[in-house]
Every structure is written in C-alpha cells, then in structure tokens.
Amino acid sequence: MDRKIAIKKVIWFLAINFVLTYGLGLIIYFQGGLASSPLRVIIMFIPMLSALFVQKVIAKEPIFKGGRLGIRIGKPMYLLLAPLITLVILVIIYAVTVLLNPGLLVTKEMLIENISKANIPLGNMSLFWAIMLIFALNIIVAPIINLPIILGEEIGWRGFLYPNLIAIFKKSGLIIGGIIWGLWHLPMILMGLNYPSNPFLGIFFMMVFCISWGIILQYIYQKSKSILSVGLAHGVMNWTATTVMIFLVVKDKMNMFLEGPTGIIGLSIVTLVAVYCYSKYRLIKK
C-alpha cells in the first residue's frame, strides 16, 4: 500500500468519523444520554460509513472487489475459533475476579430472580437448562444477530483504519489505532458507558482497553483474513458480560475500575494476550 495514499485515507477517515461521532454524541447528550436516545445505535455505523466513503469517493478504490475491507469468509475455522478464543479470555477474567472477590457471586435465590428478569420465556425449564439457554442466546445467537451492527465498527476499524495505520507506522500502527479507537469512545464514556462513577478516569482505562483488544482483534483479522470472524469475536466480547452479570452481584459491590473486563484485573490479562499477539503479528511485504 502506498504510504502517501494511506496517510490521505487516514486523515479523511478520522475527520469524517470524529466529526460525525462527536456531533451525534452531543445530540444524544441533549436527548438525555445513551440510555434514552434512539440515536445511540447509529454511532456504531459511523466508522463503516466513513471508511466506505473514503474508500470509494476519496481514494476511488473498489469497496468489495477482492475482499477489500475484509468483507469475505476468509478461513472458515476462525468463524468458530475467534469467538471461542474471546470467550475463553473473558471466562478467565471473570474467574480471577470471583476468586479474588467471592462475595460477587449471587445466591441461588438471587440467581433465579436474575434469570426471571431476563425476559426469556423459560416455562417449566430446570435451573440448569435455563442457564444453558441464556448462555446460548447471549454468547452464540446474540453475536450472530447483532453482527451487522458490530460490523459497523469493525469494517471501519480493523478493515480500514488499522491496515492503513500499519502501512504508515508499521507495527506501531496497532498501538496508534487503539488510541484512536479509545478516543472515539470519549463521548460515550463521558455519558456513563462502562465507568459511570468516574468517566474522566474511565477515559484512561478505556484507552488501555482499546489498545489491548484492538491488537488482539487485528491479529485475529490477520489470521482469519475476514472481518466476519473479528465481528463475531467482538460480539462475544460485548454479550458475555450480559450473561455473566446474571451470576454476579453488581450493585455497590463490583468495582468497574478493579474487577471484570473493564478493570485492572481484566486489563492486565488482556494486555498479556495483546503483547503475545503483537509479538506474533507479521508485516506483509509487498
């Protein structure tokens, strides 16, 4: 990839992406925040739309031809392997969290109450099968159903921005991409996403989160040669928390800065995985 063209594409992408995201974030704020605004889903599509515009209009390059932007099946085994690896990482994070703070686990009575609040028609199903159904819906079905929304992010980040940053900065582009991805979340963090108790400190934590997970997801992209596999992994990352929270006492007990995927415990484990992926990432010579 020509470095000058890559620089041009990155500048245009960042300008369009951040103006639209921050502008829409401001509108959402005045509508009452993320919880009440119907526009919050649109933000997820902005990176993809920005990438498609730059690719076609600015760079005048094909969008889909030859599997550009990762829109291809790639290596089929990663459609299963990528989300499975992500799930294993998250299970380890939650396992360590509970080992360090056993008080986070709910009682059987609380578990039954949490399951009943899941709005899933369980009927006369036993507790075991109810748990299995919720796991299946949240970790298998939900990422597939929500794949089009998640691809709104992943086509823009892993499919477009990261490869261009790598063409400019080589492997350092993986870290720079994570910083940019973290800054993109800034309006959502300030409105209470993940770190509602201290959103300003949350910005720093989110930056570490995005750098580490960005490296892992880009490594998956390189290995799978498909943005679909990355999207499924991202989906598992989003929806595993929904499932696990059924088993945890969250209110007043879980410290989002210390425990779970967004805290020090999770970030430490993910950073170790990211360091491995960074060391294994190979620059493609053309």
Distance of CA 83 to the CA centre of its chain: 12
Does any domain span residue 128? yes
Q: How many domains does the chain have?
A: 1
Residue 221 lies in domain:
70-280
Tokens of 51: 């990438």
Classified as helix, coil or strand, 127 is helix
CA distance linking residue 135 with residue 138, whole number of Å = 5
Separation between Cα atoms, residue 21 and residue 187, nearest integer Å: 8
Rounded Cα distance between 199 and 262, Å, is 12
Q: Is residue 50 part of a domain?
A: no
Q: Please, what is the Cα angle at 175 between 172 and 177, to 5 degrees?
A: 105
Instruction: Flag whether 8 is in a domain.
Output: no
Query: What is d(CA 210, CA 67) in angstroms, rounded to the nearest whole number?
Result: 25
In a domain, 99, yes or no: yes
34-62 pLDDT, tens digit each: 988 889 899 999 999 999 999 999 999 99
Query: Is 182 within a domain?
Result: yes
Give pTM, 2 decimals. Answer: 0.94
pLDDT digits (tens, 9 = 90+) for 226-258: 999 999 999 999 888 878 888 887 656 788 899
Would 49 be classed as within a structural domain?
A: no
Kindly state whether residue 35 falls inside one of the protein's structural domains: no
Helix, coil or strand: residue 105:
strand
Backbone angles phi, psi at 42, to 5 degrees: -60, -35
Chain centroid to CA 67: 22
Query: Is position 183 within any domain?
Result: yes
Q: What is the pLDDT of residues 153-196, one digit of tens each?
A: 999 999 999 999 999 999 999 999 999 999 999 999 999 998 99
Question: Which one is predicted more confidently, 119 or 163?
Answer: 163
Give me the count of residues in the chain: 286
